[in-house]
Amino acid sequence: MTLKGSDASFTRNYRIDNIRFILIFLTVLGHLLLVNRGHINRMIIRIIYSFHMPAFIFIMGLLANFSLKKYLKGLIFPYIVFQTAYILFDRRLFFPESAYSDSFSIQFSTPFWLLWYLFTAAFYYLLIPALSKLQTGYFPALLAVSFALSILVGYIDSVGYFLSLSRTIVFLPFFILGFYFKKRPSDSFIKDRARSVKWTMPFLITIPIAVLEFIFAKNNVTLKVFYGSYPYAAGNTGAGLRISFLITAILWIILLFSVIPNKQIPFVTRVGSYTLPIYLLHGFVVMVLKKLSILHYSDPLNLLLSLLFTILIVFLLSTQPIRLLFKKFF
């Protein structure tokens, strides 16, 4: 869902497109599985949510380039359009009797569901001019501060969904980390070195990931730990779980960049090169499926149906007409 810039020093990296395909596929699948959370589905959702948005935001930082046109047309305008569309659609679908009442209003200060990503991205992109001027040597200290803020913000009960403030702060380290790798020389791990480590690093990284995911599952850790939108008191979590989440997400990001090839893969690379339409539109389909109670069967059947719907949604929303329409308006 990253907005692409025109940085001539950054050549096309198919690994990033391939990873974005995986992430958008998991995003759609996760939202479908959330419709009916059985035991098996909760385990899969927990794994997906432990890294998919941090990885997206890391890539956002890795590719970040600021321009006012891109900022207004690629973030602000679609946020206004889809915030309005989702609120109206939600009211008409689930609360038809109140959709036209005097008390109904459209607001833009609290993003609707998945639109928090656009709101948070809009804030991050305002940081790009300052980060671009910052010398690389200052980034470790900046990263340390961002990680501290990500952990400490959970203690502030008043920070939550409003202005997407909680998520913006919680996920900030991943954006800064991505931007840090963007400023590093071309032989950095993210761009080149992953090709030389073969399977040694992926194997070593998989072990702590498996351990952490097992701990999350064994303790039936709530998804609020991974949302980043709740203070600790409201989410029944704590700083320890927030730290575990941050570590898990970083390990997943390293693993993805280690094993995903930097080459064109039919369909996968093309879809991964422009995931914004899928992200912004798939929510409408999920809401309709929820309204129709289609995903309310046994865990195995729900998982199978969710996978089939995910494939269908990703395929249809990545077709050329929709991509061209989005590129024209957004």
* pLDDT greater than 80 at residue 286: yes
Q: Is residue 75 part of a domain?
A: yes
Which pLDDT tens digit goes with each residue over 13-33? 899 999 999 999 999 999 999
Predicted local distance difference test score (pLDDT) of residue 284: 97
- Mean pLDDT for the stretch of residues 238-253: 96
* Per-residue model confidence as pLDDT tens digits over 164-175: 999 999 999 999
Looking at residue 98, what is its pLDDT? Answer: 60
Identity (one letter) of the amino acid at 321?
P
Given a contact cutoff of 8 angstroms between Cβ atoms, the answer to whether 47 and 213 are in contact is yes
Taking every pair of C-alpha atoms in the chain, what is the biggest distance, in angstroms?
Answer: 63
How confident is the model at residue 9, as a pLDDT? 42
pLDDT of 102 strictly over 80? no
The DSSP string of 219-249 is TT--THHHH--S-HHHHT--HHHHHHHHHHH
In a domain, 269, yes or no: yes
CA separation for the pair 271, 28 (Å, rounded): 13
Hey, what amino acid is at 49?
Y
CA distance 29 to 295: 12
**Single-letter code of the amino acid located at 303:** L
Residue 204, pLDDT score? 81
pLDDT number for residue 6: 40
Query: Could you tell me the pTM of the whole model?
Result: 0.91
Per-residue CA distances from 40 to 46, 220, 222 (Å): 10, 12, 14
CA angle, 174 then 236 then 142, to 5° = 25
* Whether the predicted pLDDT of 178 surpasses 70: yes
Query: What is the rounded distance in angstroms from the CA atom of residue 141 to the CA atom of residue 215?
Result: 30
Give the rounded distance of the alpha carbon of 312 from its chain centre.
20
CB neighbour burial string for 33-49, b if at least 16 within 10 angstroms, e if fewer:
bbbbebeebbbbbbbbb
Give CA–CA dist 298/279, Å, rounded: 27
Lowest pLDDT segment from 103-112, 127-136, 192-201, 262-271:
192-201
pLDDT at residue number 7:
43
Q: How many domains does the chain have?
A: 1
Classify residue 3: in a domain, yes or no.
no
Q: Can you give the residue range of the structural domain that contains 72?
A: 14-329
Instruction: Quote the percentage of the chain above a pLDDT of 70.
Output: 90
Q: Is the pLDDT of residue 195 over 90?
A: no
Q: Do 171 and 53 touch, CB atoms closer than 8 A? A: yes
CB-based contact 122:80 (threshold 8 Å): no
Residue 221, pLDDT > 70, answer yes
98: amino acid identity, one letter: S
Q: Determine the pLDDT at residue 38.
A: 73
Residue 198 has pLDDT above 60, yes or no: no
pLDDT tier for residue 209 given thresholds of 50, 70 and 90: very high
pLDDT per residue as tens digits for the range 52-93: 999 999 999 999 999 999 899 999 999 999 999 999 999 988
Assigned domain for 8 exists: no
DSSP 8-class letter at 75:
I
Q: Does some domain include residue 9? A: no
For residue 309, tell me if it sits in a domain.
yes
Asked if 131 and 176 count as a contact pair (C-beta separation under 8 A), the reply is: yes
Residue 5 lies in a domain: no
| The two structure tokens encoding residue 93 | 């679908």
Contact 157, 234 (CB under 8 A): yes
In this structure, is residue 110 part of a structural domain?
yes
Neighbours of 319 (CB within 10 A): 12
Rg (CA), the chain: 20
- pLDDT for residue 197: 53
